[in-house]
Each structure stands twice: as C-alpha cells, then as structure tokens.
C-alpha cells in the first residue's frame, strides 16, 4: 500500500520539484503571518508553477476576504484553515475544498472536529512545525467519523506507527524533513516518501 502523503511548509522550487519526483500526493504552502515558513502571494504563484500536484494552501490569522482573495488568485486545490476559524468561516469560502487543522487534546476536541464543516481534518498538535507528536488515540477516534490527515512530529521512523495507530487516510510532514525551517533536507524527504510507499 502507498499511503497518500503531504509535504508541507515548502518555500523553495527545488524542494517542490523533489517532493513531486518522490511521489508526494499533496504539496503544502503556508501563508500564516509571523510563522517561519510563511510565503508571499508572489512566491506561492511561482512555486505553484513548478508542479501539477494538488496544492494545499495553509492559512491562519486572516479575514475571510483575504483568504477568498488568495483562493481566487492562486486557485489552490485545498485551503487548510490552521487557527481558530469558526464553522461559518469555512462555509463562506468558495472555489476550493476546505481542510481544517485541529489540535486534539480531549474528546471535546474530537467532537468539535467531527462536526466542523470541512472535507478533511488535519490532526495536528496545534504547534505546526514544532516536531511534536500529537495524541494518536484521539486521532484514531476522529478517523472513525471523518477523513483525517495525521500531522505533527512525523518522520520516516515513526510514520508507520502513526498511520497504523490512527487509521488516517493520509499523513503530513514538515519539520521532520527539514534542515532548517522552510528548507527541506532532501535525504530526509526521500526517506519519508519511501517509508510512506511501504505502508
């Protein structure tokens, strides 16, 4: 089995090219102000042009108007809401499919994620890019009710364990394959891709 995987926090054309070459299912680009992997609209436009793979635009701390402008301008395949956007925020967006990141710490978080109006939930730690692993048991419970992308602290060495523990349909990696924030270690990226292909 080849589990779908997303390479997130991409900031360089060469990293996009390698992620495409090794078989990534999704490419993630971050536009969350004040974060180390945040890119501009112009950078996003250039990076999007490197690959035909599905693009996930990660946003947070922005207005509905700003996010809709990004959707209209960049045409991402998915928009990933990554802060505390309420349900009506997701419902107001047009022209793309919506993912929403949730930090799963309690069953109340699982309940909130299960009813949130998004196609897919990204089960993260709430500290994107921190390299910290989330609560896989809570992710498993959510995956019984809604499509889940498992994120948070995944590497080539623990992705199998996380996938098997949660039943997620896909996995997401950013900091676990980096040399520094936003700069991918191409060896680690390739190892992660190979690990996903063996699942």
CA dihedral in degrees (60, 64, 70, 73; nearest 10)? 170
What tens digit of pLDDT does each residue of 1-10 get?
Answer: 689 999 999 9
> Is residue 155 one of the residues assigned to a domain?
yes
57: in domain: yes
| Residue 196 counted as domain residue | no
Confidence of residue 134 (pLDDT cuts 50, 70, 90): confident
pLDDT of 90 over the 60 cut? yes
| Residue 190 forms part of a structural domain | no
Does residue 131 surpass a pLDDT of 80?
A: no
Domain membership of residue 199 (yes or no) is: no
Counting the structural domains of the chain, the total is: 1
Would residue 54 count as lying in a domain?
yes
Q: Could you tell me what percent of the chain has a pLDDT over 70? A: 95
Q: Which two tokens stand for residue 147?
A: 């499509």
Q: What is the pLDDT of residues 18-70, one digit of tens each?
A: 999 999 999 999 999 999 999 999 999 999 999 999 999 999 999 999 999 99
- List residues with catalytic annotation: 8, 124
In a domain, 198, yes or no: no
Rounded Cα distance, 2 and 24, in Å: 10
CATH of the domain at 157: 3.20.20.70
The C-alpha angle 141, 163, 133, rounded to 5 degrees, equals: 80
The pTM is what? 0.94
On whether residue 194 sits in a domain, the answer given is: no
Could you give the CA distance from residue 111 to residue 157 in angstroms, rounded to a whole number? 30
Range of the domain at 81: 5-185
């Amino acid at each position: 089995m080849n589990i779908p995987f997303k390479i997130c926090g991409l900031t360089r054309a060469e990293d996009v090219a390698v992620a495409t070459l090794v078989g990534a299912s999704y490419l993630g680009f971050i536009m969350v102000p004040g974060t180390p992997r945040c890119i501009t609209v112009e950078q996003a436009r250039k990076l999007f042009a490197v690959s035909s793979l599905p693009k996930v635009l990660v946003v947070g701390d922005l207005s509905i108007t700003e996010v809709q402008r990004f959707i209209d301008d960049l045409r991402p395949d998915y928009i990933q809401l990554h802060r505390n956007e309420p349900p009506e925020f997701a419902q107001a967006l047009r022209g793309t499919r919506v993912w929403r990141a949730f930090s799963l710490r309690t069953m109340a978080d699982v309940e909130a994620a299960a009813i949130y109006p998004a196609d897919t939930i990204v089960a993260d730690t709430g500290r994107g890019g921190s390299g910290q692993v989330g609560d896989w048991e809570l992710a498993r419970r959510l995956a019984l009710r809604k499509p889940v992308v498992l994120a948070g602290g995944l590497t080539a060495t623990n992705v199998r364990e996380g996938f098997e523990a949660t039943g997620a349909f896909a996995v997401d990696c950013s900091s676990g394959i980096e040399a520094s924030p936003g700069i991918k270690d191409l060896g680690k990226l390739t190892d992660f891709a190979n690990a996903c292909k063996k699942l």
